Amino acid sequence: MHIRKPTVLRDVSVFDKKHQLGKGTYGDVFMGADKDTKAVVALKMINTQQEGNYGFPITTIREVKILKALNHPNIVKLKEIVTSKEQNAIPKSVYLVFEYHEYDLTGILGTREIRLSQDHIKSWSMQLLQGVHYMHVNKIMHRDLKSANILIGRNGELKIADWGLARTWNEKMEKLTNPVITLWYRPPELLLGCKKYTPKIDMWSVGCIIAEMFRRKGFLTGRSDASQMELIFKTLGHPATESFPDIHEVCPQWTKYEPKSKEHILKSRLQETLRSQLPNPRWVTNNAITLVQNLLTYNPAKRWSAAEACQKAEYFYEEPAFKPAKELSMSFGVKAAHEWGLPSRQAAERQMQQRK
């Protein structure tokens, strides 16, 4: 039997810590550079002493475990873990060291100088679906897909980041945490109290992100659970019992919102909404609408999976057909763009708003 020498983690002083890139639930994200190799990285600080709770947050243990198990071009890579230099046994902070990417999707969409083409939207939609498909095949739900957690590199490659809420999943799970996914990207079954959900919750978020790329701003932007639900009904109409027969079992709070009579039933206005107030209305083709429609489907059992979206969506194959990352033009004239750096910190305030 071999006794392995315990791994000694490097301390964070091996990096030059630069400016802040973002803010997570359990700590801030900074840009850093390895003092020896000069390689640029993203440092996610995990505070091990939060709220007097000494030790490693369970969400971080989960995040590390999941990232170690996943290996895909569209999923962010965890390079190493480093600690702060402390005298005592438990370091005050632990840092997850990730590959660095110049942009996140919120930063790109919110930076006017960046000119996007149909190619960008189509390629990033496909790359996002491919990353989500890989994760779902490996029985993992992300549970916080949103444009701020989608990183884009200078090479046009998309990476799914921030796995703090992710978890493994199987069909037998009866009671899962309900308040997950940032409000604007949260599917109706969660808003209506569902605790036995499936990876299809992530697919609703993907639909919202694709719609957001066309609009260059949030799609379903409620301020509270109730206003979010109202906005979903105004945009997509009320769910029909024929297409969602087990709605009462899946959505325990549906009775609170169920229309009292036929006159009160709202019809879907998705097509008009998707095509209104757009920088480039022609880009939202009928096939693009079909894709979003199948992702924003009330009944999770009928909502497209990532595999179905990649295979069935004509949108990716109509002209101009989707291009791989290496064929995208990435001359944005802006060196970096992240949510955190948007004017007047509106993004940070918005996040606070969505978490209430």
Q: Same domain for 95 and 200?
A: no
Mean of pLDDT values over 42-70: 81
Quote the pLDDT of residue 356. Answer: 46
Cα dihedral 264, 265, 271, 276, rounded to 10, equals: 20
Structural domain count, the chain: 2
Last residue of a domain, one of 49, 65, 99: 99
Which CATH number covers residue 94? 3.30.200.20
Q: Same domain for 205 and 262?
A: yes
Quote the pLDDT of residue 52. Answer: 55
Q: Same domain for 173 and 195?
A: yes
Cis amide leading into 320 (omega within 30): yes
Quote the pLDDT of residue 7. Answer: 65
Quote the pLDDT of residue 341. Answer: 80
Record the tokens describing residue 78, joined without a space: 């965890």
Q: Same domain for 22 and 166?
A: no
- Look at residue 4 and tell me if it is in a domain: no
Q: Same domain for 49 and 114?
A: no
Last residue of a domain, one of 99, 132, 148: 99
Residue type, 134: Y
Q: Same domain for 141 and 23?
A: no
271 phi and psi angles, rounded to 5 deg: -60, -50
Confidence of residue 3 (pLDDT cuts 50, 70, 90): low
Number of CB atoms found within 10 A of residue 319's CB: 6
- Look at residue 7 and tell me if it is in a domain: no
Confidence of residue 47 (pLDDT cuts 50, 70, 90): confident
Confidence of residue 261 (pLDDT cuts 50, 70, 90): confident
Buried b / exposed e over 39-76, threshold 16 CB at 10 Å, is ebbbbbbbbbeeeeeeeebebbebbbebbeebebebbb
Record the tokens describing residue 241, joined without a space: 């019992």
75 phi and psi angles, rounded to 5 deg: -125, 130
Q: How far is CA 178 from CA 87, 174, 217, in A?
A: 40, 11, 26
Q: Same domain for 216 and 278?
A: yes
- Look at residue 58 and tell me if it is in a domain: yes
Domain ranges, residue 196: 103-355
Tell how far CA 248 is from the center of its chain: 28
Confidence of residue 348 (pLDDT cuts 50, 70, 90): very low
Cα dihedral 241, 247, 251, 255, rounded to 10, equals: 50
Q: Same domain for 26 and 153?
A: no
Could you give the CA distance from residue 309 to residue 299 in angstroms, rounded to a whole number?
Answer: 16
Quote the pTM value.
Answer: 0.92
Which CATH number covers residue 175? 1.10.510.10
Q: Same domain for 50 and 22?
A: yes
Q: Same domain for 332 and 309?
A: yes
Task: Kindly state the greatest CA–CA separation across the chain.
Answer: 75
Query: Which stretch of 211-215, 262-266, 316-320, 344-348 has the lowest confidence by average pLDDT?
Result: 344-348
Could you give the CA distance from residue 255 to residue 247 in angstroms, rounded to a whole number?
Answer: 10
- Look at residue 3 and tell me if it is in a domain: no
Last residue of a domain, one of 99, 132, 161: 99
Question: 348-352, long-range: CB within 8 Å, 24+ apart, which pairs?
Answer: 348/23, 351/23, 351/148, 351/182
Which residue numbers are catalytic? 144
Quote the pLDDT of residue 10. Answer: 87
Q: Same domain for 141 and 254?
A: yes
Mean of pLDDT values over 307-328: 97
Q: Same domain for 70 and 129?
A: no
Residue 345 pLDDT > 50, yes or no?
Answer: no
Cβ atoms of residues 131 and 160 within 8 Å: yes
Q: Closest by alpha carbon to 103, among 144, 147, 146?
A: 147
